Amino acid sequence: MSDYGADPQLLLLRRQYMQLFEPDFLAWPPAKFLKDVDVQKWLHKHLFDANRNQRLPPEAYQMRVLKKLVAKVEKETENPELAGVLRELAACLESFVAKGVSSEFHTAQEETYVTFTCLPEKYDLDSSHNCESEPTVTLLERRNLVSGSQITGFRTWEGSLHLGSYLLTDAGSQIIHGKNILELGAGAGFLSILLAKHLHAKHVTTTDGDEGVVESMKENLSLNGLDNQEKVQTGTLTWGYDPWETWIKDDCDANPYEVVIGADIVRPHLIVVQTGCRALM
């Protein structure tokens, strides 16, 4: 199976896997399909081979998914002595078991790569695609810190994904294209990265009220090749104070904000405001 002709079922499975869907909720193709040797080679290459994929999910998650994959293939095989599981996949699972990979509890306390595939509205899902060339946003998230610190900005929340989905439509992308954007409560940075990397915003100013979250956001910008401050400006913005007494004034003077976005920050949970710089404040 060529990387340039991967089955849409496999591409969907990989997208969900890289986004850390629960294994039971992954869009598993039929077991007969998974039993095919070429399919298993593709899955090993794109889901489990650390030499080919630098930003895979945690090993504990990989092991859970791999166990489910192996069980599906073995269940489809009539002769238990010929399980039909690709040698490389079996060796990968044996390696995880031998190493005693961290439990899900411990994994939840670690930095975790999460990759979101950001497909535009008119993306042809039935065409052949190279999965490495699909538009993505990769983040390092710290999901456990939500309960421990009461700070919610170290992970991507559902509201951001819904807003991102809208902005990937033709109507949504027109709001962003060529505009100066201010994001409030940016958290891990998913939306700001999406706008700067894939939706052709002219300039993005991405803010959060917590300094630690802002530092983590800078790491995520770097992961996505957005180190240039002329394209993306990042900083702490504390609500309740006069913004014109902060760095925001100089930034807004240099890049007058035309659109303000925010997700999961107030009720309703999604905000898109087209505005003039002065009207914002």
Token pair 């004034």 is at which residue?
249
Region for 276 from its dihedrals, namely left if φ exceeds 0, alpha if ψ lies in -120 to 50, beta otherwise: beta
**Mean pLDDT of the 58-87 span:** 85
Comparing CA positions, the residue from 14, 106, 101 lying closest to residue 60 is 101
Give 33-48 pLDDT, tens digit per residue: 999 999 999 999 999 9
Dihedral, 69, 74, 76, 80 alpha carbons, nearest 10: 180
In this prediction the pTM is 0.86
Please, what are the domains in the chain?
3-105 (no CATH), 137-280 (3.40.50.150)
> What Å distances lie between residue 212 and 159, 177, 179, 242, CA to CA?
21, 30, 28, 22
The SS3 call for residue 129 is coil
* The token pair that represents 205 in the structure block: 């100013």
Spatial separation of the C-alpha atoms in residues 237 and 235, rounded to whole Å: 6
Give 196-246 pLDDT, tens digit per residue: 999 999 999 999 998 989 999 999 999 999 987 789 999 999 888 888 889
> How many helices, marked H, and strands, marked E, lie in the chain?
13, 7
DSSP letter for 116, please: E
> Listing from the earlier edge strand, what are the strands of the sheet with 270-274?
232-236, 203-208, 180-184, 259-263, 270-274
Q: 281 or 275, which is more confident?
A: 275
